[in-house]
Amino acid sequence: MIEVYTDGAANGNPGISGAGIYIKANKKEEKHAIPLGSCSNHEAEFHAVIKALEICKEKFPNEILSFRSDSKIVVDTIEKDFTKNKTFQPLLETINTAKKDFPYFFIKWIPNQENKHADILAKEAIQTQLH
């Protein structure tokens, strides 16, 4: 099973944003700080999940994925497979399509303090765009 921690951050809301992805797989760690351009903090959280699914498809095809996020909105939206928010709807559709590439996809909410690796990476992604 692949453990994937995701976080999104924005400098302003909306503002320059980034995705942080921390992956624990086969006793190895992977870190990804991905610039996202300008979007809201919540959008950045969704994009972090999407980018993580893309990375997993390339590097860990057909593995069981256990995602963790400190965004209640993202976790609840994915678990319930529903959102009224028109901005989030296409992001949810993208996630639903991408997760079909894996035999099992789990996502659970974790507190901020358990998501420090991904948080640092998301902030790094913002900093690369500010300089």
In contact, 10 and 44? CB cutoff 8 Å: yes
For range 125-129, the mean pLDDT: 96
**Statement: residue 130 has pLDDT above 90:** no
User: What does the alpha-carbon distance between residue 82 and residue 55 come to, in Å, rounded to a whole number?
Assistant: 24
pLDDT value, residue 33: 98
> Considering the chain, what percentage of its residues have pLDDT values greater than 90?
97
Q: What does the pLDDT look like over 41-89, one tens digit per residue?
A: 999 999 999 999 999 999 999 999 999 999 999 999 999 999 999 999 9
Identity at 120, one-letter amino acid code: I
Domains of the chain, by residue range, sit at 2-130
- Residue 31 corresponds to which tokens in the numbers above? 């870190």
CATH number of the domain at 2-130, please? 3.30.420.10
CA dist., res. 42 & res. 53, Å (int): 17
0.85 cut: is pTM over it? yes
For residue 47, count CB atoms less than 10 angstroms from its CB and return exposed for 0-12, middle for 13-18, buried for 19 or more: buried
